[in-house]
Amino acid sequence: MERKWSEVEYLHQTVTNPNIIIKGTKSYYSNAWGGNFEDDVVRYLYGDKHSRKNWQPQWPIDRLYIGNYVCIGAETVILMGGNNTHRNDWFSNYPFMEHIVESYKTKGDTIIEDGVWIGMRSMIMPGVRLGEGCIIAAGSIVTKDVAPYTIVGGNPAALIKRRFDEKTTAALLALKIYSLTEEQIEKILPQLCADNLEALRRRISEIK
C-alpha cells in the first residue's frame, strides 16, 4: 500500500491494547513507512496480543500513557515491559525460566505527556517520562526522564537546549494548556501558534 507523509495514524482510532492509554483525539503516528503504531512502534515482549491471549501474566504489565497533541515520527520504537528479566546485579543476566518471576524488575509505566514531539527512528526505553512539550531529536535513545519544554538528542539522549527560559516554562506549565478541552484549544490557536505569553494568558482567561 502506498503511503504519503501527509497521511498519519490517529492513535485513538487504532489502538486496542488495554495497556496503552490514549488521551484525546489529536495524537498521531507518522506511519508513512511500515505498519501501524500498535504493532510496529510499541514493542511489548510481554503484553502484546499474543502473550495476553496465551499466557497468564505473572506480574503487572507496564502501561503506556500518551497525552494529547503528541507527534510520533516514523519508525520510532517505544520499548515496553517484558524485557526486564536480565538482572545485572546477579552473576548471570540470562533469563532462566526457573527463576523468571524473581528476575523480573519493573521499570514502571512509560508516560508521554501532552504536546511532545518524537523524531523519527527514536527509541524510548521503558519507564521514562517525556515532559510536556519536549522534543526528542531524530535517532535518539531516551534512557531517562526528559524535562518539559526541552530538546534532547543523541545516544543516550542528553539536553541540547531549553525551548524557553525557566520563567516562561514555569508559566506555560502553570497555564495547564492541555487541561483545556479540544474545543477550547481551538479557540486559542492564534495565541498558541505564536510566542506572546501574555496574549496566551489573556486568551485562556477569556475562554474559561
Backbone φ and ψ for 113, nearest 5 degrees, come out as -80, 175
For the beta sheet containing 123-124, the strands, ordered from the edge strand earlier in sequence to the opposite edge, are 42-43, 77-79, 123-124, 141-142
Residue 173 and residue 199: Cα distance in Å, rounded?
Answer: 16
Contacts of residue 126, Cβ cutoff 8 Å, sequence gap at least 6: 62, 79, 80, 81, 83, 84, 107, 108, 110
* Strand locations in 82-157 (E): 110-112, 117-118, 123-124, 129-130, 135-136, 141-142, 150-153
Q: Are 22 and 38 in contact (CB under 8 A)?
A: no
Is there a contact between 30 and 74 (Cβ–Cβ < 8 Å)? yes
Strand partners, 151: 135, 161
- Among 12, 50, 86, 99, the active-site one is 86
Number of helices followed by number of strands (H, E) in the chain: 7, 15
Whether 86 is catalytic is yes
Enumerate the active-site residues: 86
